[in-house]
């Protein structure tokens, strides 16, 4: 169990476009979902934490108006990169955690975003 | 600031040998400890988690936790070339925040 599906896996689009990424927990209810960004050869960077039915908590330096997160149900969270620019090109990865507390996070396959 | 430290490597191990990956953490109140494997260009994959002092075995993998010394390790027995990846240590601190290490790159040489 603990399968997380992320879609799309790869996006190429023009500068100024908004891009929506979906993250679904397929076989469990995810009280909390996380969004990460990873640049080539760098560490995972947590962008935000979202709990079902409440506003996301963003990490310092992450623009909440640019990276819109919605966690409308216990199995779905979305990240929308608004008015994307080339510097937003990165590998975006979601994870989901069953319940609260000390349970492990399970990751989706990631979305590779390239802004031209 | 709470930290999780890993040697960045690369750690080179001959095929069939035991690979030993180590991780130290600063928050003595940390409760849960996780090892993830990340292949190049892919997302992290959960390998093991451990909550209590001692050893936890799963197939070729053994996680070892020593809370008094604030370290957690991952042993991979009978290392295979397919084990070559970056191994990420993650520690859940006393505030239930997950702190990530930067990862150790492991290379298994045939």
User: Could you read off the pLDDT of B44-81 as tens digits, one per residue?
Assistant: 999 999 999 999 999 999 999 999 999 999 999 999 99
Q: With an 8 Å Cβ cutoff, are B96 and A104 in contact?
A: no
The alpha helices in A1-116, defined as continuous H runs, are none
Residue B46 to residue A109, Cβ atoms within 8 A: no
The pLDDT assigned to B87 comes to: 98
- Sequence-distant (≥ 6) Cβ neighbours of residue B72 within 8 angstroms: B22, B23, B25, B33, B35, B50, B63, B64, B65, B66, B89, B91
Residue A111 has pLDDT above 90, yes or no: yes
A107/B44 CB distance under 8 A:
yes
Q: Is the pLDDT of residue A100 over 90?
A: no
Mean pLDDT in chain A? 93
Which pLDDT band, with edges at 50, 70 and 90, does A75 fall under?
Answer: very high
Pairs of CB atoms within 8 A across A/B: 40
Query: Mapping DSSP to helix (H, G, I), strand (E, B) and coil, where does residue A13 land?
Result: strand
pLDDT bucket at A54, cuts 50 / 70 / 90: confident
CA B55 – CA B32 distance, rounded (Å):
14
pLDDT at residue A47 is higher than 90: yes
Residue B49 forms contact with A (CB below 8 Å): yes
- pLDDT of A52 > 90? The answer is no
| Contact flag B34-A110 (C-beta cutoff 8 Å) | no
Interface check B92 vs A, CB under 8 A: yes
* pLDDT, greater one: A52 or A23: A23
Cis? peptide before A8, omega within 30° of 0:
yes
Is B45 touching A (CB cutoff 8 A)? Answer: yes
Q: With bands split at pLDDT 50, 70 and 90, how would you rate the model's confidence at B97?
A: confident
What pLDDT score does A109 carry? Answer: 97
């Amino acid at each position: 169990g603990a399968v997380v599906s992320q879609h799309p896996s790869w996006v190429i689009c023009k500068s100024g476009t908004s891009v929506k990424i979906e993250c679904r927990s397929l076989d469990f209810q995810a009280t909390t979902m996380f969004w990460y960004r990873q640049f080539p050869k760098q560490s995972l960077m947590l962008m935000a934490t979202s709990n079902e039915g409440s506003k996301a908590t963003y990490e310092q330096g992450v623009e909440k108006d640019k990276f819109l997160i919605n966690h409308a149900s216990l199995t779905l969270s979305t990240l929308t990169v608004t008015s994307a620019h080339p510097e937003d090109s990165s590998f975006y990865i979601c994870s989901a955690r069953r319940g609260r507390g000390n349970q492990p996070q399970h990751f989706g396959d990631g979305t590779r975003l390239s802004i031209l | 600031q709470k930290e999780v430290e890993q040697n960045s490597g690369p750690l080179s191990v001959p095929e069939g040998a035991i690979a030993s990956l180590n991780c130290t953490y600063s928050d003595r109140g940390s409760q849960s400890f996780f090892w993830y494997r990340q292949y190049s260009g892919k997302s992290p994959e959960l390998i093991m988690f451990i909550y209590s002092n001692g050893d936890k075995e799963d197939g070729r993998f053994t996680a070892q936790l020593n809370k008094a010394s604030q370290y957690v390790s991952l042993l991979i027995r009978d290392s295979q070339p397919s084990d070559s990846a970056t191994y990420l240590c993650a520690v859940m601190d006393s505030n239930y925040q997950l702190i990530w290490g930067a990862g150790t790159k492991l290379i298994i040489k045939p």
